[in-house]
């Protein structure tokens, strides 16, 4: 099995809420192995702190009483990865304010502006 790509511990500041993979699995109603697969398939990005993998809580969203991965997040991650971004750079880009959006790309994704975020990511290539 291929290793799970992960950003370094300091890729995000302490103000960003994180979920351990078992918590992600519980919220999504899937097994932890499926979360591992989502990380390998670039549907999510994780970071490693003290040997434990975490996912930013803002990557999950409740819609109609069901928790899902934020729409267009996986496509954005794929575009960034294909452009040569490392997991650290992906998290930095997603959580850093962009005046042209305005706001952080993760907020725009959560606010149903995914196509605009993906266009910005493609422009970085």
Placement of tokens 């750079």 in the chain? 89
pLDDT at 30 (0 to 100): 97
pTM above 0.85, yes or no: yes
pLDDT tens across 42-57, in order? 999 999 999 999 999 9
Query: Other C-beta atoms within 10 Å of 74: how many?
Result: 17
Per-position DSSP letters for 19-71, written without gaps between them:
EEHHHHHHHHTS-HHHHHHHHHTTSS-EEEETTEEEEEGGGEEEETTEEEEPT
pLDDT at 112: 84
pLDDT of 94 above 80? yes
What is the DSSP secondary structure assignment for residue 16, as one 8-state letter?
A: S
Domain boundaries, the chain: 16-123
- Give the pLDDT confidence of 45-90 residue by residue, as tens digits: 999 999 999 999 999 999 999 999 999 999 999 999 999 999 999 9
Supply the mean pLDDT for the chain.
93
Which pLDDT belongs to residue 25? 98
Coil, strand or helix: which one is 94?
helix
Per-residue pLDDT, 2: 63
76's enclosing H/E stretch is: helix 73-82
Q: Residue 3: its pLDDT value, please? A: 82
d(CA 40, CA 74): 11
The three-class DSSP label of residue 79 is helix
């Amino acid at each position: 099995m291929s290793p799970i790509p992960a950003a370094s511990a300091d890729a995000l500041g302490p103000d960003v809420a994180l979920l351990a993979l078992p918590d992600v699995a519980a919220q999504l109603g899937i097994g932890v192995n499926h979360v591992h697969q989502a990380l390998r398939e670039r549907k999510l990005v994780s970071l490693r702190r003290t040997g434990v993998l975490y996912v930013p809580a803002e990557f999950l969203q409740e819609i109609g009483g069901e928790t899902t991965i934020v729409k267009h997040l996986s496509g954005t991650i794929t575009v960034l990865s294909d452009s040569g971004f490392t997991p650290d750079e992906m998290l930095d880009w997603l959580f850093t304010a962009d005046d042209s959006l305005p706001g952080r790309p993760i907020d725009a994704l959560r606010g149903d502006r995914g196509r605009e975020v993906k266009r910005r990511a493609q422009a970085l290539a």
